[in-house]
């Protein structure tokens, strides 16, 4: 199964600033997903990122706030822009390894906005 | 309507005992997959077990088994011989193969605490 390296693992940021999270996959994958997990809650899908096309955002998430890049089949970034304390969450990237198995997740980025 | 329902916010189990975590789902897609993930306090998501909608037998992976009752739309996770390291949040998820663009939907999770 794919292995994902996600960076940074955690960060504390000032409100109004931006943070870019990176995910590097050790194999080529078509679809990558970005999730947000607010404290004590379940995972909410932010967007689906396919190489060579614009990311598809879920209801409630917009590109200006969460711009995503997917320059190739092994790498993606999510930027959390103009942060507020409400953005404090764990952000996770994941990939669909194909077939009918479970997603593989990165180790997560624990973001605290102060 | 919520697609994945986990009705147990928290569960306790004695070390070495078995525990069942409940999950019900809702879909009209005849082809789907059901998954369980473990999330320790570190935050990573660990894939545990998978059950396909057309699978005739319940899935098993080591100490994990999935009690799949298709007519009742339930996919309960059974953990046998609980260990202290099993203390974590557990999420049930579903992926519909013909709808929802292959995206997964997650339940609200169950926090499992294993007591020594």
Indicate whether B101 pLDDT > 90: no
Q: Which of A55, A96, A74, A59 is nearest to B97 (CA)?
A: A96
Q: Quick one: pLDDT at residue B99?
A: 76
Q: How far is A19 from chain B (nearest CA, A)?
A: 19
Q: Cβ A108–B91 below 8 Å, yes or no?
A: no
Residue B42: is it exposed, middle or buried by C-beta count within 10 angstroms (0-12/13-18/19+)? exposed
| Mean pLDDT estimate for chain B | 93
Peptide linkage before A103 cis (omega within 30 of 0): no
Place B1 in a pLDDT band, splitting at 50, 70 and 90.
low
Place B103 in a pLDDT band, splitting at 50, 70 and 90.
confident
Q: How far is B52 from chain A (nearest CA, A)?
A: 8
CB B115 within 8 A of CB B11: no
For the ranges A71-75, B48-52, B96-100, the lowest mean pLDDT is seen at: B96-100
Q: pLDDT tens-digit profile of A16-32?
A: 999 999 999 999 988 89
Q: Say how far apart CA A78 and CA A49 lie, in whole Å.
A: 10
Q: Cβ B45–A92 below 8 Å, yes or no?
A: yes
Q: How far is A59 from chain B (nearest CA, A)?
A: 13
CB B19 within 8 A of CB B110: no
Place A100 in a pLDDT band, splitting at 50, 70 and 90.
low
CB A47 within 8 A of CB A66: yes
**Could you tell me which residues of chain B have a Cβ less than 8 Å from any Cβ in chain A?**
33, 35, 37, 42-50, 52, 91, 93, 97, 101-104, 106-109
Residue B106, Cβ neighbours under 10 Å: how many? 22
For residues A74-90, average pLDDT: 96
Q: pLDDT tens-digit profile of A31-77?
A: 899 999 999 899 999 999 988 788 999 999 999 999 999 999 999 99
Q: Quick one: pLDDT at residue B98?
A: 81
Place A112 in a pLDDT band, splitting at 50, 70 and 90.
very high
Indicate whether A88 pLDDT > 60: yes
Q: How far is B31 from chain A (nearest CA, A)?
A: 11
Residue in B5, B43, B48, B88 to test binding to A, most A beta-carbons within 10 Å: B43
Q: Say how far apart CA A69 and CA A72 lie, in whole Å.
A: 9
Contact residues on chain B for A108, CB-CB shorter than 8 A: 42-45
Q: Quick one: pLDDT at residue B2?
A: 65
Size of interface A-B (CB pairs under 8 A): 55
For the ranges B4-13, B75-84, B90-99, the lowest mean pLDDT is seen at: B90-99
């Amino acid at each position: 199964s794919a292995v994902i390296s996600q960076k940074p693992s955690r960060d504390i940021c000032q409100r109004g600033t931006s943070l870019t999270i990176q995910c590097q996959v050790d194999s080529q994958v078509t679809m990558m997903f970005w999730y947000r997990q607010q404290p004590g809650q379940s995972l909410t899908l932010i967007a689906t990122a396919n190489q060579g096309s614009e990311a598809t955002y879920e209801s409630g998430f917009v590109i200006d706030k969460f711009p995503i890049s997917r320059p190739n089949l092994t790498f993606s970034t999510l930027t959390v822009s103009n942060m507020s304390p409400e953005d404090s969450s764990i952000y996770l990237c994941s990939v669909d390894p194909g077939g009918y198995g479970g997603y593989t997740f990165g180790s997560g980025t624990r973001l605290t906005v102060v | 309507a919520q697609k994945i329902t986990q009705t147990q916010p928290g569960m306790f189990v004695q070390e070495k005992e078995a525990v069942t975590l409940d999950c019900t789902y809702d879909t009209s897609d005849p082809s789907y997959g059901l998954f369980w993930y473990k999330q320790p306090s570190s935050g990573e998501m660990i894939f545990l077990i998978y059950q396909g909608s057309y699978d005739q037998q319940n899935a098993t992976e080591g100490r994990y088994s999935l009690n799949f009752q298709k007519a009742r739309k339930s996919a309960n996770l059974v953990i046998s011989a609980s260990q202290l390291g099993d203390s974590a949040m557990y999420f049930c998820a579903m992926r519909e193969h013909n709808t929802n663009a292959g995206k997964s939907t997650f339940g609200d999770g169950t926090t499992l605490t294993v007591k020594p």
